[in-house]
Structure 1
Amino acid sequence: HLFSLLLTLLKTADLNCVYSPSDTSSYSGRDLLKYCINCALKREEDVHVLGFEVPEQELRSELDSNNKHLFHFHNAYSDPLGWRKQSSFTVEQFSAENITRLVRETKHAKASVLVIDSLSWIERHHNPVAICQQLHKLKKGGAIRTICCLLHMDLHQQGIVESICHLANTVITVTAVNNALYAEAKTTHRKKSGKVMQEEEFFTVMENLSLSIEKRPSQSGHAQVHSDAKVDPASNLTFNLRLSEVEREAKEKVALPFVFSQEKKSALLKKGQGSGRIIYEPDANDDFDEEDPDDDLDI
């Protein structure tokens, strides 16, 4: 499954990409965002969070306790616009240069994971074109290994959402299912070759930030059991696509029109007494000049 594969890659692989969980008012993507943060901490990677929407304590809760020292929260929640000078990061400071400086000030020199919670806050105060340009610079700069942005899709025009999603290598759109026991994840992943993979799966994030991938849930909220038996696509057709043994033997005995027997090949290739040849004798009207055989051409 594509969603399962991508989340496994977030646990183990070295992705150099922009990864965007997108949600709506019916279901929040922050639990999935926290799951991604926790996976990065378990890999012992530095995680830098630009926090605009929730305080640090809310994001820190339930994270891996062994590696919480790798979690760096740049507080934009207390004073996002910088009016009271109480935030370590403001929305006006959103640029590739400022974010790169924040990342490189940490003790670890290796590339880090950048989490933006959320990009919708920044979009309200910056031109969408400028946001895409800065994200592209961060993606190519080298200090950031993975960028993970939360985006509230129903707060923006469709064109803005599509522009930001086009920049991302992976977009996971989450929506509620039934009574929110499960959520539907629509995953779009673009490979380096340009091939685009899409898939829909169902998941739930547990209280300990573990992830449960489910089959398609029923109306009652319980996961349906899908049979692994293969469906025969030719079972309900009005005509027969298969041959019986008798029909197969009869088919194999039919001589194809373009296949020659050995006797016919020998007869055609044998050079007999009546083999023909072409003899050309020029007449006086041919006007053939041996010194200039192309004299009659207009060159």
Structure 2
Amino acid sequence: MLPELLQGIDAGGFLIIQDSASYSGRHLLKSFINSALDREEAVHVLGFEVSEEELKDGLKGSPIQRLHFHNAYTDPLGWTDHPAFTVHQFCLEELTRLVKQTSHPKPATLVIDSLSWILRHLSPPDVCKTLQQFRKGGAVRAIIGLLHADMHQSGTVGSVCHLATSVITVVPVVKGDKAVAKITKRSKSGKVMQDEEIFSIKDDFTVIVQGKPSQHGPKQADPKEQETDPTANLTFNLRLSDTEREAKEKLALPFVFSKEKKTALLHSGPGSGRILYEPDANDDYDQEDPDDDLDV
């Protein structure tokens, strides 16, 4: 599924590359930029975390002319007199103006590096609203964003990923420079497809898919998914041995009646007593008004 996404995102699509401190997703982000340039698309990059030189490092050749870097790295908060782009300009009107500054026959792709920087300075509802409006406005063909999941609360990450048509979560493997891509893709019909693939990235940002995690031994567990055993360090044993379990099953509980005891209680034998009541003449009992003798 990863090669299919690299070949092109559907019109109006929104792809999120979700990484963490254990593995950076920026190289995969540059692979998507390189693939878009090879398809002769114009690419607009909102650069908050790295400079233009660092982003373009390794992206060489004539297609680099279609890469438009909007510098939000030098002055992201607008502290100087003439900032190039600030985080407060992340709105529908400003993004549309940036994209329409350059003329290109094909719809452009917007790359956000990174969404985490924006979410640290703007409210998540405003960011989600801008992304949804810009994605449906038709100014760009697709949006690709890098998101550092371990920098935000799970609710914020879930809200942004809910807008995405595809989410790629990258985690490292135990050895080597490979990584695992956990992919969730939503089609226009609402069908959700999931896949996991081991991949590596070459120096020219070409992605090599090397198969499924099951084909390369057990995959590394996500730290968030690891569950600790609450009985691991107890000073007493909560489990029963086979002998103890057998003795427990043979034990007769005090309030559980056997079949013989039930029969003896339900069927009275000889010598058992009964209580009989015969009313006499002094009993003033009115069948129509049983409570007549009460002073009420």
Common fold, TM-score beyond 0.5? yes
SS at match of 2:197: strand
Shift of 1:6: 2.1
Instruction: Report the CA distance between 1:111 and its aligned residue.
Output: 1.9
Which deviates the most, 178-187 or 124-133? 178-187
User: What is the aligned partner in structure 2 of residue 160 from structure 1?
Assistant: 156
Equivalent residues of 1:41, 1:64 under 8 A apart: no
Any idea what SS the aligned residue of 1:59 has?
A: helix
Quote how far apart the aligned CAs of 1:95 are. 0.4
- What amino acid is the match of 1:190? R
Number of the residue aligned with 1:268: none
Q: Alignment partner of 1:140: what SS?
A: helix
Cα shift at 1:15: 3.2
Partner of 2:2: 3
Does 1:200 pair with 2:199? no
Segments of structure 1 that go 5 or more residues without pairing to the other structure are 222-299
Q: C-alpha distance in 2, partners of 1:71/1:9?
A: 17
Q: What amino acid is aligned across from residue 212 of structure 1 in structure 2?
A: I
Which residue number in structure 2 is paired with residue 48 of structure 1? 44
Asked if 2 retains the 8 angstrom alpha-carbon contact of 1:23 and 1:174, the reply is: yes
Whichever residue aligns with residue 5 of structure 2, its letter is L
Counterpart of 1:178 in 2: which secondary structure?
coil
Q: Is the 8 A contact 1:48 1:113 kept in 2?
A: yes
Alignment CA distance shift 1:127-1:102 (3 Å) = same
Amino acid in structure 1 at the alignment position of 2:153: Q
Asked which structure has the greater CA Rg, the reply is: 2
Q: Measure the CA separation in 1 of the matches of 2:150 and 2:8.
A: 28
1:182-193 to 2 correspondences below 5 Å: 182-193=178-189
Q: Which residue of 2 aligns with 1:39?
A: 35
RMSD: 1.8
Measured after TM superposition, the shift of residue 61 of structure 1 is 1.5
> In 2, are the aligned partners of 1:77 and 1:87 still within 8 Å (CA)?
no
Q: Which moved more, 1:60-69 or 1:31-40?
A: 60-69
Cα distance 1:131–1:72, how it changes in 2: closer, same or farther (>3 A)? Answer: same
TM, length-normalised to structure 2? 0.70
- For residues 18 and 176 of structure 2, the distance between their equivalents in structure 1, rounded to whole angstroms, comes to 16
- Give the letter for the 1:17 counterpart: G
Q: Deviations over 1:11-45 (max 9, x none)?
A: xxx53200110100000000000000001111111
Question: Paired residue for 1:129, among 125, 131, 143?
Answer: 125
**In structure 2, do the counterparts of structure 1 residues 85 and 110 end up closer, same or farther at CA, with 3 Å as the change threshold?**
farther
- Partner SS state of residue 145, structure 1: strand
Aligned residues: 217
Q: Which deviates the most, 147-156 or 172-181?
A: 172-181
Give the Cα–Cα distance (whole angstroms) in 1 for the partners of residues 83 and 175 of structure 2.
37
CA distance in structure 1 between the aligned counterparts of 2:121 and 2:174, rounded to whole angstroms: 35
Tell me the CA shift for residue 86 of structure 1: 5.0
Residue 80 of structure 1, aligned match among 76, 80, 88: 76
Displacement of 1:180? 4.6
Q: How far apart, in 2, do the equivalents of 1:64 and 1:44 lie?
A: 14
